[in-house]
Amino acid sequence: MIRSALLSLALIAAPAGAALAQDHHGHHADAPTELSADAASAASVVDAFHAALASGNTDGALALLSSDVLIFETGGAERSRDEYAGHHLGSDAAFSAAVPSTVTRRAGHVMGDVAWISSEGRVTGEYNGRAIDRLTVETMVLVRHGEAWMIHHIHWSSRAAG
């Protein structure tokens, strides 16, 4: 019930073209942002998630995900924190550590205890001996649990730059 409500909210609230990126280190000091004032704390959780991945702190990244997180990526879905931990977490952390990324645009809003943060970015570098240059988009839906935000849904997408 909550998952379908969050997914519906994410699909309604996400700006067109913002269905989004996995390959972030969270660098975005000069990125245009359209964050509502109350969305800044939720956006900091998104940044903490990417920073944890990039530093190889997979336990830290997992701690920011709800147990029933729903992750969409490249046409597939992982339907829990445990499923993500057993499948793509390690490779996402390795990629994030190896390939620098930049957030080029970010927007976010809060409605009650639900926030959505959309980010656009670019990753460039080398991974496993091949050049990487991709444009990325990401949407994260977070729910406030007490004073803390938890990530309940992620949608990552990317395409070749150029």
pLDDT tens-digit series, residues 151-162: 999 999 999 998
Residue type, 87: H
> Is it the case that residue 62 has pLDDT exceeding 90?
yes
User: Which pLDDT score, from 0 to 100, does residue 162 have?
Assistant: 87
Which of 4-18, 43-57, 67-81, 86-100 is predicted least confidently?
4-18
* Residue 78's pLDDT band (cuts 50, 70, 90): very high
For helices 89-98 and 40-54, give the axis angle rounded to 10 degrees.
Answer: 90
The residue assigned the tokens 């091949």 is 130
> Is it the case that residue 15 has pLDDT exceeding 50?
no
* Residue 28's pLDDT band (cuts 50, 70, 90): low
> Is it the case that residue 6 has pLDDT exceeding 90?
no
> Is it the case that residue 7 has pLDDT exceeding 60?
no
Which tokens sit at 113? Answer: 């205890």
Higher pLDDT, 2 or 141: 141
Which tokens sit at 122? Answer: 């670019």
* CA atoms of 97 and 100, how far apart (whole Å): 7
Mean pLDDT of 102-106: 97
Longest Cα–Cα distance in the chain: 46
> Is it the case that residue 121 has pLDDT exceeding 80?
yes
* Residue 16's pLDDT band (cuts 50, 70, 90): very low
